Amino acid sequence: MNRTPDSFYDRGATFRDEPALARVEQAVAEGAAIIDIGGVKAGPGEEVTAEEEARRTVGFVAEVRRRFPDVIISVDTWRAEVGEAVCEAGADLLNDAWGGVDPGLAEVAARHGVGLVCTHAGGVEPRTRPHRVTYDDVMTDILDVTLGLAERAVALGVPRESVLIDPGHDFGKNTRHSLEATRRLDEMVATGWPVLVSLSNKDFVGETLDRPVKERLIGTLATTAVSAWLGAQVYRVHEVAETRQVLEMVASIAGHRAPAVARRGLA
């Protein structure tokens, strides 16, 4: 749920409450288990203060909690003061997409007993784009950062089972870095921490296929299938129904899910 007027994906379609709540209802009906709410677009743009970010998200979190008591509510924020407010309103998970730039956010998660997403963002400042970023080994850097953030969170008191790690596609990375992070995702899975991936319609998909935002679904779903095969467990997406079909198909190919029906050759 992009509670912003300038989202790269929907251009503010869910900025107002009623369209946003309708979208939550649709996402839940299509099989979403987690609703991720953000009040600041990831890319550069007009300044959004902590007060404005909270205004866009806190009341909305409370209303989603009231209408959908069983859904997991995640809030995409890097600010501890916003994290504090949304946890008081009913959030279950803090999605720190900017790699612990505010160390107080993990302390908030520990204090409220909520989950935390620990993301690799390449050390860039929030809402800035990478410029000629280099790594000796991008996956080594991803692992060093995310595992360090995860262990710190647990040491602070965040429940270990509620900590996820995210390679941070596009964040502090160029397209080749994001492709390599996908290709080597099994190295993150092997750590034992549950892996979250945020792939949906991102620039690395667009650049790989030379497609604008609204034509990136096929590339996103291909990347989703590869990530699922390599063991990712949580997917932050825009197109819920299509993603669920991909994940169910991969699970069935892997032998973890039975076909929904089995008639062929049995009549």
Active site residue ranges: 202, 236
For the chain, count helices (H), then strands (E): 10, 7
CA distance 167 to 48: 25
Q: Are strands 72-76 and 163-166 parallel, antiparallel or unpaired?
A: unpaired
39: region left, alpha or beta (phi > 0 left; psi from -120 to 50 alpha): alpha
Q: ∠ CA(82), CA(84), CA(90), 5° rounding?
A: 100
SS3 223: helix
Closest CA to 98 of 186, 38, 57: 38
Q: Which residue type occupies 221? A: L
Q: Are strands 34-38 and 163-166 parallel, antiparallel or unpaired?
A: unpaired
Q: ∠ CA(62), CA(25), CA(76), 5° rounding?
A: 50
Beta pairing partners, 215: none
Give phi and psi for 222, each to the nearest 5. Answer: -60, -45
The pair of structure tokens assigned to 75 is: 């809030």
